Amino acid sequence: MDSFLGISYPALFGQLMIGLINGSFYALLSLGLAVIFGMLHVVNFAHGAQYMLGAFFAWFLLNMLGISYWQALLIAPLAVAIFGVLIEKFLLSRLRGKDPIYGLLLTFGLAMTLEGTFQYFYGSSGRTYAVPEGLTGGLHLGFMYLPIYRAWVIVASLLVCAATWYLIEKTKVGMYLRAATEKSLQTQSFGINVPLLITLTYAVGAGLAAFAGVLAAPIYQVGALMGQNMIIVVFAIVVIGGMGSILGAVATAYLLGLVEAITKIYYPQGSSIAVFVVMAVVLMIRPAGLFGKE
Amino acid sequence: MADSSSIKSQWHMTAALAFVCVATLIAAPFFLYPILLAKLLCFALFACAFNLLIGYVGLLSFGHAAFFGIAAYTTAHALKEWGFAAELGLLIGVFVSAVIGFLIGLLAIRRQGIYFSMITLALAQLVYFFCLQAPFTHGEDGIQNVPRGLWFGLIDLNNLSALYYVVATLCVFGYLVIWRVVNSPFGNILKAIRENEPRAISLGYRVQRYKLAAFVISASLAGLAGGLKALVFQLATLNDVSWSLSGEVVLMTLLGGIGTLFGPVVGASLIISLESMLAGSEFPLQIILGLIFIFCVLSFSRGIVGEATRILSRKNSLPNSLR
């Protein structure tokens, strides 16, 4: 038997692989969103734009300065994180204490401006980014063909998610962070610089989005609108998982990536709406989300 | 405490303002292109419908284009493929958007605050993908060359002034519905929910039902706006259901003044005028809209009418009905 429910093994595993890849990007993005939301109570609509910035940054570095993928993987997130610091310091911090809706609207305006600017200068069409040397080619596993770059994306995403989890749950900085998330004022009264923590949190979240963008550059086309469609799916994933826990966000992201892939096999027209349908069902059964605490 | 003379003077003020508005609406097509005016009115009604939720119930829907767009598609399809008369096509459009509004509202009100916005956004995206793939919407082409026909079998809507007056009448009707809802006991309960939801619950109100009712009213009126838009432009496209349109209506309302009755009209007029001014040029509209967004959120969150009311009410001369 080399087929499963009428689908040949190479096709089946090929689709599941795509599901895991998409899940990897969803995980990195929803992780950043969850971390930012926990600390700032802001739904960062600019997350998709920051993902796009990361990819474009890598593209500039390679094509204008000849800086390689591996260096870009460090430089681009760092640059976007610094940009995030500026956004937090000069824009978001002015909204503290206001209705969280304003944070959403501000970052929405920011996303519009950024994406509009890139669309103006670089058009809507995507640019290709060559797969870095050392990660080209693939492995024949017998039941499927595995492109090495795609395997690397999954590994890198899992590693970064694990590192973020470790940082927040197991280190001292993470402890401060969790304390500030729970009780901001009390944490500050113990002499911890909460405004600084907030700025850093936003920077880390933006950096994570940019990291996902660099990872995505060789797989998807680098274009002004690459983050736009991603972000709404990620919002739905965040609603499904609930923004309460980091592991929950990551697990939900991979799960939904796979759900999307399986839908694509059996009902291709439905793959773009699969995540939203799951969200509707989860809202009916468990409004707080799969891992929500409410 | 207002004495009777000040109430009386407020009524005079309201009546005078209403008169000026109606006179402007009647005279406008003699000075400006009727299609542009009709478009402006459609979006003003759309923004007012959206404002009913954000301004009076405190619910930020980020998916209102779904109702606008689905009604535009339904009306266009009914007129073109089924040969319905315009009034019937509009009615069906409003009905479909009310049904979709009921379903989306039912799910979205299960969560509050920022989650509500994300859920409406995601569910509207579901509607978008449905419209992208359903055969009757004709994908990227949209439904084109929608026949306008006769209004109640009498008035030829291909006469642009006639079209404008029909659209204006219906938009004024929609506006009056919103005005009535806001200034009714029902509207007061909505405001109570906005101010303090737990208290409204503890007073015995079934908050969820009120929210849902407001959501359906808002969705239906957004649908009326969408159906009218299809009639005016003889066109329904994917842009009508896109989330960028949902964002645009948020911006119109924010710029004009959230929670003011007249603000969304001002905001919509400004944004639509800006769009038609920039339509020929290369300059990207999106960047300007984004910057207006940022500016409004940071230092102009009351909006134009909100700020104007604040300045005028210091002099205590503005009627309550406009606040």
Sketch the domain layout of chain A as residue ranges: 3-285
The answer, yes or no, to whether residue A230 has pLDDT greater than 70, is yes
The answer, yes or no, to whether residue B244 has pLDDT greater than 50, is yes
Distance from C-alpha of A282 to C-alpha of A277, rounded to nearest angstrom: 9
Distance from C-alpha of A80 to C-alpha of A86, rounded to nearest angstrom: 10
Q: What is the pLDDT of residue A291?
A: 82
The tens digit of pLDDT for each residue in A67-113 reads: 889 999 999 999 999 999 999 999 998 988 888 889 999 999 999 99
User: Within an 8 Å CB–CB cutoff, is residue B125 touching chain A?
Assistant: yes
Does the model's ipTM exceed the 0.85 cut?
yes
Q: What is the mean pLDDT of residues B267-287?
A: 88
Higher pLDDT, A244 or A230: A230
Q: What is the pLDDT of residue B225?
A: 97
Please indicate whether, in this complex, the C-beta atoms of A91 and B118 are within 8 angstroms of each other.
Answer: no
Which of A273-287, B55-69, B210-224 is the least confident region? A273-287
Q: What do you get for the CA distance between the two ends of chain B, in Å?
A: 16
Interface test with A, best of B293, B295, B299 (most A CBs within 10 A): B293
Q: What is the pLDDT of residue B253?
A: 95
Q: What is the pLDDT of residue A284?
A: 86
Q: In percent, how much of chain A has pLDDT > 70?
A: 97
Nearest chain A residue to B244 by CA distance is: A112
The answer, yes or no, to whether residue B1 has pLDDT greater than 90, is no
Q: What is the pLDDT of residue A75?
A: 94
The greatest distance separating any two alpha carbons of chain A, rounded to the nearest whole angstrom, comes to 66
Q: Is the dihedral of CA B146, B151, B153, B157 positive or negative?
A: negative
Q: What is the pLDDT of residue B5?
A: 67
Q: Say if domain A3-285 classifies as CATH 1.10.3470.
A: yes
pTM for the predicted model, two decimal places: 0.90
Q: What is the pLDDT of residue B322?
A: 53
The H-or-E segment that residue B156 falls in is: strand B155-156
The tens digit of pLDDT for each residue in A34-53 reads: 889 888 888 899 999 999 99
Q: What is the pLDDT of residue A208?
A: 95
The answer, yes or no, to whether residue A56 has pLDDT greater than 70, is yes
Tell me how close the Cα of A191 comes to any Cα of chain B, in angstroms.
29
Answer for the pair A17, A258: CB distance below 8 angstroms, yes or no.
no
The H-or-E segment that residue A4 falls in is: strand A3-4
The answer, yes or no, to whether residue B98 has pLDDT greater than 90, is yes
Q: What is the mean pLDDT of residues A151-171?
A: 92
Tokens of B142: 């949209």
Tokens of B77: 């399809």
* Closest Cβ opposite residue A113 in set B110, B250, B290: B290
Please indicate whether, in this complex, the C-beta atoms of B247 and A120 are within 8 angstroms of each other.
Answer: no
The tens digit of pLDDT for each residue in B5-64 reads: 666 777 888 888 888 888 888 888 888 888 999 999 999 999 999 999 999 999 999 999
The mean predicted confidence, pLDDT, of chain A is 88
Q: How confident is the model at residue B267 (pLDDT cuts 50, 70, 90)?
A: very high
Answer for the pair B79, B86: CB distance below 8 angstroms, yes or no.
yes
Tell me how close the Cα of A238 comes to any Cα of chain B, in angstroms.
9
Q: What is the mean pLDDT of residues B85-96?
A: 94
**DSSP secondary structure letter of residue A23:** H
Q: What is the pLDDT of residue B15?
A: 85
Distance from C-alpha of B323 to C-alpha of B317, rounded to nearest angstrom: 11
The tens digit of pLDDT for each residue in B173-213 reads: 999 999 999 999 999 999 999 999 999 999 999 999 999 99
Distance from C-alpha of A263 to C-alpha of A266, rounded to nearest angstrom: 5
Distance from C-alpha of A244 to C-alpha of A21, rounded to nearest angstrom: 24
Q: What is the mean pLDDT of residues A249-267?
A: 91
Higher pLDDT, A78 or A192: A78
Residue ranges with strand state E in A118-241: 138-140, 145-147
Q: How confident is the model at residue A214 (pLDDT cuts 50, 70, 90)?
A: very high
Q: What is the mean pLDDT of residues B156-178?
A: 92
Q: How confident is the model at residue B216 (pLDDT cuts 50, 70, 90)?
A: very high
The tens digit of pLDDT for each residue in B298-308 reads: 988 889 999 88
Distance from C-alpha of A110 to C-alpha of A114, rounded to nearest angstrom: 6
Domain boundaries in chain B? 33-241
User: Within an 8 Å CB–CB cutoff, is residue A125 touching chain B?
Assistant: no
* SS (HEC) of B157-212: CCCHHHHHHHHHHHHHHHHHHHHHHHCCHHHHHHHHHHHCHHHHHHCCCCHHHHHH
Interface test with A, best of B120, B126, B130, B244 (most A CBs within 10 A): B126
The answer, yes or no, to whether residue A3 has pLDDT greater than 70, is no
Please indicate whether, in this complex, the C-beta atoms of A105 and B297 are within 8 angstroms of each other.
Answer: yes
Q: What is the pLDDT of residue A259?
A: 93
Q: Is the dihedral of CA B246, B249, B253, B255 positive or negative?
A: positive
* Closest Cβ opposite residue A116 in set B117, B122, B286: B286
